[in-house]
Structure 1
Amino acid sequence: MKKTIVIVDDHLLIAKALEGIIDNFQDFQVIYVAENGQNLIDKFQSNHEIPDIILMDISMPIMDGFESVLWLKKNHPDVKVMALSMQGDDNSVIKMIKNGAKGYLLKNTHPRDLETALIKLKDDGFFYPEWASKIIFSNINNDGINEKVVKISEREKEFLTYTATELSYKEIAEKMACSPRTVESYRDQLCEKLDLKSRVGLAVFALKNGFAKS
């Protein structure tokens, strides 16, 4: 079954062009377009279908992307938001991620790369291209990371070296010559040991503690 997508963008021509591109992807379909965050909320409250993924512009009238993704985080946390904007500055990226976006792309992204990003968002729960990852890792602080000394096995250390890459868990398993379930166990064990909740947290820990290269 295809994953459903809603596009939130005040530029109708861009939104419709995106809709046409995405509807040609094998695993995704656009179910409707909203002009801004308030329009999206109105559609949700009038019993429009809740999508699996939202492609969210940032600069919009009435209710912008920053406010919209924060509202979604509070009211529909299962919906994955991918920011899709012309704005690639540090402040925009960090604010969108902190407010709840699970991915970030620029509007000049090639359709093939957009499809890849959506697949990774669907499978892994997040997607940040290399340029966005560098912004996140260079700006994020240590909040939520337990600095106490913990015992990390050699295999867990090896797993940590891959957390800051764009590899999926399946691809990491192939690199480590083990099953995806084993990789997931490394993730879960490290999250418990380090008091972390996501791969982003693991990647930050790996970078700050010399387990991975930035």
Structure 2
Amino acid sequence: MDTTIKIVLADDEELFRRGIAFMLQRESNMEIIFEAPNGQELVSFLRESTIHPDVIIMDLKMPQLNGVEATKVIQNEFANIKIIALSSYETSSFIANMVHIGASSYLVKNSTPEEMILTINEVYNKGFYYNEQVMKIINEVEVVADQKSKGLFENDCLTVREKEVLQLICKQLSTKEIGERLFISARTVDGHRNNLLLKTESKNVAGLVVYAIQNKIVNQEDLIL
């Protein structure tokens, strides 16, 4: 039986939000479990509900609590939920900031339906999805501004195997695919991923990708987009 991706939509434009909901509900593996007109209602739902989404599609400009602040709260309280930032803003500063605070992907509102569906599936299955535009910004902008000043873990602290796992994560391979490629179990892959998160002080898999690019563990052209 196919896995259903549970989705929450957060956008204050009701017509736009309902249009996305209608489109996604037509996908056999996707279910909209809640719609929020602002970040405050979104956070309240997550705190009160026993059912949590796998993915949140988050508008950045919302009343009461905007998408940026809501993302920070959710990353602190519900770290397993993946957030796809959705905005009409395409500037490097907006994109870099959302990546920095833990967004697993970034979509502009003029994206095609096919791009949105692809992004949701990739984020659910692999933990992140950054298109060519976002990858370029990650490569050029110092997303993690305080990384060098922390100096807690240098690249040399990562083992050879951890670097191999990190490189394959960046190529968007699944846990199973990484295990098959390196001839190790899925549990061992998960262990390496957890160690990477700890050593790099990353919030999620998306953060690992940023770390790997900015520390030259992978090159942008080596990534499968």
Which interval holds the TM-score relative to the shorter structure?
A: 0.7 to 0.9
- Say if 2:156 is the partner of 1:149: yes
Output one character per residue of 1:58-98: Cα deviation in whole Å (capped at 9) or x when no partner.
Answer: 11122211111112223322322111111121221222233
Compared CA separation, residues 194 and 74, structure 1 to 2 (3 A): closer
Q: TM-score, normalised by structure 2?
A: 0.74
User: CA shift at 1:46, angstroms?
Assistant: 5.7
- Say if 2:26 is the partner of 1:24: yes
Q: Is the 8 A contact 1:56 1:82 kept in 2?
A: yes
What is the match of residue 213 of structure 2? 207
What is the match of residue 181 of structure 1? 186
Amino acid at match of 1:207: I
Amino acid at match of 1:74: N
User: CA shift at 1:26, angstroms?
Assistant: 2.1
The count of aligned residue pairs is: 212
Amino acid at match of 1:41: V
What is the match of residue 134 of structure 2? 132
Amino acid at match of 2:124: K
Q: TM-score, normalised by structure 1?
A: 0.77
Whole-angstrom distance in 2 between the partners of 1:86 and 1:132: 14
User: CA shift at 1:41, angstroms?
Assistant: 3.2
Whole-angstrom distance in 2 between the partners of 1:46 and 1:97: 27
What is the match of residue 7 of structure 1? 9
**3-state SS of 1:149 partner:** helix
Whole-angstrom distance in 2 between the partners of 1:148 and 1:81: 27
Amino acid at match of 1:59: K
Output one character per residue of 1:165-193: Cα deviation in whole Å (capped at 9) or x when no partner.
Answer: 4454555667x475673982794497289
Cα RMSD (Å):
3.3
Whole-angstrom distance in 2 between the partners of 1:95 and 1:29: 28
Q: Is the 8 A contact 2:4 2:29 kept in 1?
A: yes
Output one character per residue of 1:99-127: Cα deviation in whole Å (capped at 9) or x when no partner.
Answer: 33222111222222222211121122222
Whole-angstrom distance in 1 between the partners of 2:62 and 2:70: 10
User: CA shift at 1:14, angstroms?
Assistant: 0.6
Select 2:70's aligned residue among 68, 71, 80: 68
What is the match of residue 122 of structure 2? 120
**3-state SS of 1:184 partner:** helix
Structure 2, unmatched stretches of 5+, are: 221-225
Amino acid at match of 2:113: P
What is the match of residue 223 of structure 2? none
Output one character per residue of 1:14-40: Cα deviation in whole Å (capped at 9) or x when no partner.
Answer: 101100111111221112211111222
Whole-angstrom distance in 1 between the partners of 2:128 and 2:84: 8
Select 1:86's aligned residue among 80, 88, 112: 88
Amino acid at match of 1:10: D
Structure 1, unmatched stretches of 5+, are: none
